[in-house]
Amino acid sequence: MTKVYGKPIVYFDNGATTQKPRIVIDAISEFYREKNSSVHRGVHFLSEKSTEAYEQARETVRHFINAGSTNEIIFTSGATGSINAIAFSFGEKFIKAGDEILISGMEHHSNIVPWQMLCERKNASLKIFPFNRNGELDIEKYTGSFTEKTRIVAFTHVSNTLGTINPVKEMIRLAHQHNVPVLIDGAQAIQHGSIDVLEMDCDFYAFSGHKVYGPNGIGVLYGKEKWLEELPPYQGGGDMVDNVTFEKTTYNVLPYKYEAGTTNYVGAIGLKTAFDYISSIGIDKIARYEKSLLNYATEKLTSIDGLEIYGTAGNKISIISFLLDNIHHYDAGLVLDKLGIAVRTGTHCNQPVMDYYGVSGTLRASMVFYNTREEVDRLYDGLSKVKKMFG
């Protein structure tokens, strides 16, 4: 186990990125040593092996989120890449001046900025629906936000700061009543519970590999086949084409149409291994354990006088954002760091949420299944120390 400043590290920054199981690291290393070759390119043995592994990875992802077909699984660079892809492709095809794009007030910057850029390109407008003090989306206001001009809705499955699990299924149903498609940002959801895109009925679902025990630089865009067929590709290059002449190029079939250039096939294989690993433990078992850890941590932290938690929704994943007295999050974070405790400090790419609560930032402890109650106790002791130093 990694030690920092001579102490075994308590890693509570899993919302930013998770640590990688050995099996994932080994799979990547083994692939580079024994199978590495570009996919979909050569007739030779290694390329065949590599392509086979890459397409198996796509099937594993499909199965993990219960998509209907591997045509609906696009490998991207991450959740941010996936959202940008749709903001571009959907925007090119369907957004015109005066149209409206609807997002929630608790979005990560990655689910705000691509839409803002689209609105600027097309002279469209971005509409926001709010959340309440507990950190729960206001469904009534959401329902009231639809107009004839609403073209697409995008919101997060789970808030990266507040931990809230949003009622996505019901919200998607409401959007579909207005014939408006929905993109879900699943970056903080995929690692904490089972995802079923068919049951949810979302049109697009985006997540990153590195937050779900997989490698960096790989992510997934799920899209319903009918949409992916209809939308134009967002990047041009090798592999995404069918026939290229200087006069006209025709595009490859799904899912390759959206995978221009040499793809991150090693990342995809790493992600597959991570999903296999999670499945071997059981995602529901992980969710149950994390829930009990969240309850323990919430109880323990609220017993500290002057500690305030931001995000107290009934349905939450194991993320706790908080402030202690009037102590600046940066001060507290520096001291916790020296005690070997890694938490996130600042705005968590979630400035509008900070503005809503009128704070410049918070501390955030984001826990996953490899964290323990003993580690929560160390955070508690660390915060008591912080309180004493700054009190």
Partner 1 sequence: MTIQETQDNIISEFEIFNDWLDKYDYLISLGNDLPIIDPKYRTDEYIINGCQSKVWLRADLQDGKLIFTADSDAIITKGIISLLTRVLSNREPEEVMNSDLYFIDRIGLRENLSPTRANGLLAMTKKMKLYALAYYTRQKKG
Catalytic center residues: 349
Tell me if 332 sits within 8 A of 345, measured CB to CB. yes
Q: CA 220 to CA 85: how far, in whole Å?
A: 11
CA distance 238 to 241: 6
Tell me: does residue 5 bind partner 1 (CB under 8 A): yes
Nearer to partner 1, 221 or 379 (CB): 379
Tokens, residue 157: 């499955």
Nearest distance in Å: CB 114, partner 1: 24
Contact 110, 185 (CB under 8 A): yes
Query: In the bound complex, what is the minimum distance in angstroms from residue 334's beta carbon to partner 1?
Result: 6
Q: Which stretch binds partner 1 (CB under 8 A): 79-87, 134-142, 339-347, 348-356?
A: 339-347
C-beta closer to partner 1: residue 9 or 28: 9
Site string for partner 1, 288-327 (x = CB under 8 A): ----------------------------------------
Six-digit token string for 22:
């050995």
User: Residue 69's CB: how many other CB atoms inside 10 A?
Assistant: 12
Amino acid at 118: L
Does 7 contact partner 1 by CB under 8 A? Answer: no
Q: Does 360 bind partner 1 (CB under 8 A)?
A: yes
Contact (Cβ atoms closer than 8 angstroms) between residue 317 and residue 165: yes
CA distance linking residue 329 with residue 352, whole number of Å: 17
Distance CA 257, CA 261 (A): 11
# chain residues binding partner 1, by CB under 8 A? 15
Binding of residue 46 to partner 1 (CB under 8 A): no
- Please return the burial class of 387, using the count of CB atoms within 10 Å of its CB with bins 0-12, 13-18 and 19+: middle
Q: How many C-beta atoms lie closer than 10 Å to residue 279's C-beta?
A: 12
Choose one: 7-15, 51-59, 164-172, 328-336; the region binding partner 1 (CB under 8 A): 328-336
Select the residue interacting with partner 1 from 328, 351, 372, 380 (CB under 8 A): 328
Q: Which of 196, 330, 355, 373 binds partner 1 (CB under 8 A)?
A: 330
Contact status: 334 vs partner 1 (CB under 8 A): yes
Least separation in angstroms between residue 339's CB and partner 1 is 8
The residue ranges that bind partner 1 (CB under 8 A) are 5, 328, 330-331, 334-335, 338-339, 345-346, 360-361, 385, 389-390
